[in-house]
Amino acid sequence: MIRSLSFTLIGLAAICHSLAPPPVVTTICTQLSAAIHDADHDEDCFDCYRLDDGGRPIGLAKNLQLQTPHAGRKFRPSSQAQRGGRANWRRRWMSRGNRRFTEGWYYRLTLPEYGESFVFIFSIEDAGRYVKGRPSPLSLACMQLLGPGDTYLVQSDEDDTKFWGWDDALAFGCTFEWSDEDAGDAESTRGIEANVAAAMNPKEWREKVKTGFQVLPFGFQGRLDGHDGTLGGVKAGQGVSGTAYFDFAVKPLAGWGNYPPLTRYQNASDHASVLEHGGIHRQRSTAGWLASYPVFEPHWQVNMANARATGSLNWNGTVYRFEDAPFYGEKNWGGAFPTKWYWSQCNSFDDHPDLSFTAGGGIRQLPFSFLPGKRTEVLGLVGIHYNGRFYELVPWTGDSEWAVWPWGRWEFRGKCTDRRADNQFEVEIVAVTEEGVDGVPLRAPTKDRGMQYYCQDSGFGHVTLSLWGLEWDDTAQKYCRSHDKPIIDKATSQQCAVEVGGEYDGVWRVKSNMSATMKRLIRLPMVIGKIFNNDRAGN
């Protein structure tokens, strides 16, 4: 905790010293692929898949997409190839090397024409961690897939050195098993260490990888030969066998911030072309600027609030082909998940192709818990992307409340009334599951027991979303609903993702309440930014 305090003070000192708002993450998208199976595309973008000696991507410079903060990996790789052959001495002696650490990525593919959705969960636990001088017994590289009718497949490997990730872009992967014995031979053009450390050209990946996955900013590939995750553990041979293969291209439309509205263009390709020719949009940290420091855990970042995917997926022999299908992505990192939480997401609304929302909240530890007083707080947020604008309801800009049942119903309501926020608005979201839709238990990282059944998910929630603009009322001396019609009037979908996690003993009714001290701390960059913007306008 002292280390957390030091990092926080360093962050504050840096902001105050510079007297300037935090750097804006700009996004200029260029490397958006066509179909990932296109051989010409595979060859033309080959350099995008290679890393230099320092582990940085060649040909894919930073900010060439709608890239959010925290896109790069947070875990410390165990493979020496990712560190230029240097031993990872920090894993034994630095503080993170002696405590639990997990990083996980969640992606959701919605196929309205099939009435199905697929979830891809990739995670790495305790990479390079030592416990009493020995490798952690909880080290694990894992792939979990949620498929048709809330079915569930899993494959994992205890060898964390197989997991690689890029520092400054959203790219990572793991090869569980090579296609033949020569694929990892040191005398081949690509030895096993090189393969572990770097992404591969899609064509090469298909030829050399038998099972595993590769996630890149513009393409996803994976082959799972595992088992039914509902019937056993995460390790091999603990359930009924099952297979899945996926290979598709991804075109980001919105990160976590403003973006070019999709409704102005015919399709995702036209939208990508606009980004390619100089679209600049500020992307934000989902949990505020303190997510850059080990203050709160776990951390959370939405990377792609809205995207489109084109390609194919084979689930236990059934092939699904899709073009410009709704796609979503986020990540978490830290010691373990909260003790209790909820989450919901949808970007496949009827008659609203440019609408996406994410809502989440839970109980989190407060920093400096060695001090007397309150040690936890309950917080929630809602983020809505619509028609090029980002509506962000967070504890430091407004008030929100929710009622979440142990299963079957999720209600979110709130108002963003901070005059320094980009938008003042009110939102109401209600999601329900039909009787008989029980969801599926999924595994999440726990503090002491590794991956355990800890949450329940479904992709078949029925959701209704309404959004109103707010205007200042001089008589009432507060923000009230605008007299104009709602910005969004009861948008609906029957493919909303819903989740509950931790222990529920009844309906969870809460008003999000962040301490005044934390509000001032997190709003500091916003305040400084407004001051400097006003100064520039005056000059």
Q: How far apart are CA 58 and CA 64, in angstroms?
A: 12
pTM: 0.81
| 530 Ramachandran zone, left/alpha/beta (phi>0; psi -120 to 50) | alpha
Q: How far apart are CA 384 and CA 253, in angstroms?
A: 13
Q: How far apart are CA 237 and CA 535, in angstroms?
A: 64
Q: According to DSSP H, which parts of 381-486 are helical?
A: none
Q: How far apart are CA 343 and CA 136, in angstroms?
A: 30
Cβ atoms 315, 147 nearer than 8 A = yes
Nearest of 215, 391, 463, 395 to residue 205 by alpha carbon: 215
What phi, psi does 3 have (nearest 5°)? -65, -40
Cβ atoms 260, 280 nearer than 8 A = no
Q: Tell me which H or E stretch contains 270.
A: helix 268-276
Nearest of 473, 463, 403 to residue 431 by alpha carbon: 463
Question: Encoding tokens for residue 456?
Answer: 């329940």
Q: How far apart are CA 376 and CA 505, in angstroms?
A: 19
Per-10-residue mean pLDDT for the chain, 539 residues long? 36 37 31 35 49 54 65 69 42 51 94 96 87 84 94 93 86 92 47 56 91 92 94 77 96 90 58 50 77 68 95 98 97 84 97 96 71 73 95 91 98 94 96 95 79 89 98 94 95 98 94 74 65 49
Q: How far apart are CA 15 and CA 33, in angstroms?
A: 38
Q: How far apart are CA 176 and CA 509, in angstroms?
A: 43
Q: Supply the DSSP string of 360-401, one letter for each residue.
A: EEEEEEPS-TTSSS--EEEEEEEEEEETTEEEEE-TTTEEEE
Return the DSSP state at 512: -
Count CA atoms within 13 Å of residue 286 on its CB side. 31
What phi, psi does 35 have (nearest 5°)? -60, 135
pLDDT at 428: 99
Single-letter residue type at 53: D
Cβ atoms 212, 141 nearer than 8 A = no
Q: Where are the beta strands (DSSP E) in 284-317?
A: 299-315
Q: How far apart are CA 266 and CA 65, in angstroms?
A: 20
